Structure formats: structure tokens, C-alpha cells
């Protein structure tokens, strides 16, 4: 319990997926022992037809959604995909079984990293500053 108390009671929920860089937040979280919760992990659905992610998904006989989730789990993030159908919820849950290798991660690194989809008008801060 002391370990849990020390490391995991200050989660920060941020948008995080393969086309958004969150290096600064991840570094800060690692330094401070803070847990990151990744919202919109599928890029709000925009990533579900991404060709690079599809190649990785094919290699693992998985779906793009599972690849997005697996990467975040490997980075020790909590991941909260939203899915309506039971089958998709189960599919997303099963992403825990996928282990991405260095080549997969390098391919994901080549994707653009500036796609922030959740920018509520009026209340959006200047992100990462
Ligand atoms: N803290 C915040 O400010 C904040 C901001 C935004 C979102 N969030 C939270 O983050 C969670 C997820 O974010 P999000 O809804 O923006 O985006 P998301 O989880 O990245 O994407 C959701 C979309 O992906 C689809 N989807 C999910 N699993 C799928 C699968 N296995 N195969 C194909 N399509 C799949 C969903 O379709 P269906 O629904 O049709 O299944 C939905 O259209 C939500 O619970 C939300 O409350 C928090």
C-alpha cells in the first residue's frame, strides 16, 4: 500500500496516441512518479485507417485499435478507449496480450506527432508550455 500511495494517487489524464507527442509529460511523470492516463488513445477514431498502423496490426494479426492500446500499455500508461459494442470492448481489452517490438515502435515513431484532436474552445491551454 505505501508504494501505491507514493506512486499512483496523482494520475494525470491527457490526450495521447501515436500521432501526438507527449514526451514532456511522460518525462515529467517518470520523474515525479505520476501515473499518466491516456484519453482518446485511438486519436478519437482518426487513427483507425492509418496505413502504418495497419501494417503493424497485420504483422500481429491484430487491429489498429489494439496496436494503439498496446503501445500505451507498454509505456505504462492507463488507457481509456471508448467503444460502444461488447466485441470492441473485448478486442480492446485483449490488446494487453500484444507485445510490440523495436521495429514496430520505430514505425510508430515515424508518424506525425502534432495531431491534437481534443481542443475545447475557450478553455484550451497553450499545450506543453
Ligand atoms: N479528460 C478529458 O478531457 C477527456 C477528453 C476526451 C476524452 N476523454 C475520455 O477518453 C475516452 C476515449 O476518448 P475518445 O472517445 O475521445 O476517443 P477514442 O477512444 O480514441 O476513440 C473512440 C472511437 O473509436 C472507436 N473504437 C473504439 N474501439 C474500437 C475498435 N476496437 N475498433 C474500431 N473502432 C473502435 C469508437 O467507436 P464506437 O464507439 O462506435 O465503438 C469511437 O468512435 C472517453 O472515455 C472519454 O470520456 C477524456
Whichever domain contains 75, its CATH number is 3.20.20.100
Residue 98, CA atoms < 13 Å, CB-side half-sphere? 26
Give the number of domains in the chain. Answer: 1
Q: Kindly state whether residue 55 falls inside one of the protein's structural domains.
A: yes
Pair type for strands 12-15 and 78-79: unpaired
Q: Kindly state whether residue 99 falls inside one of the protein's structural domains.
A: yes
Q: Kindly state whether residue 118 falls inside one of the protein's structural domains.
A: no
* Ligand 1 pocket, residues with Cβ under 6 angstroms: 13, 39-45, 48, 63, 65, 80-85, 88, 91-92, 118
| Gap from CA of 44 to ligand 1 centroid (Å) | 5
| Gap from CA of 42 to ligand 1 centroid (Å) | 7
Q: In the prediction, which pLDDT does 1 show? A: 45
Write out the three cell numbers for 108: 510508430
Residue 38 forms beta bridges with which residues? 14, 79
Tell me the per-residue pLDDT of 117-127, one tens digit each, with 9 for 90 and over: 998 877 777 77
Tell me the per-residue pLDDT of 50-86, one tens digit each, with 9 for 90 and over: 999 999 999 999 999 999 999 999 999 999 999 999 9
| Gap from CA of 91 to ligand 1 centroid (Å) | 13
Domain that holds residue 31: 2-109
Q: Kindly state whether residue 115 falls inside one of the protein's structural domains.
A: no
Q: Kindly state whether residue 121 falls inside one of the protein's structural domains.
A: no
Amino acid at each position: 500500500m505505501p508504494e501505491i500511495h507514493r506512486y499512483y494517487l496523482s494520475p494525470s489524464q491527457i490526450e495521447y496516441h501515436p500521432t501526438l507527442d507527449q514526451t514532456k509529460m511522460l518525462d515529467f511523470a517518470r520523474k515525479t512518479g505520476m501515473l499518466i492516463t491516456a484519453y482518446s488513445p485511438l486519436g478519437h477514431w482518426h487513427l483507425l485507417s492509418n496505413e502504418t498502423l495497419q501494417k503493424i496490426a497485420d504483422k500481429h494479426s491484430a487491429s489498429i485499435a489494439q496496436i494503439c492500446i498496446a503501445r500505451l500499455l507498454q509505456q505504462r500508461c492507463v488507457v481509456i478507449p471508448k467503444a460502444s459494442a461488447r466485441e470492441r470492448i473485448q478486442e480492446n481489452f485483449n490488446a494487453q496480450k500484444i507485445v510490440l517490438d523495436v521495429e514496430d515502435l520505430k514505425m510508430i515513431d515515424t508518424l506525425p506527432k502534432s495531431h491534437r484532436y481534443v481542443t475545447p474552445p475557450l478553455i484550451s491551454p497553450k499545450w506543453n508550455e
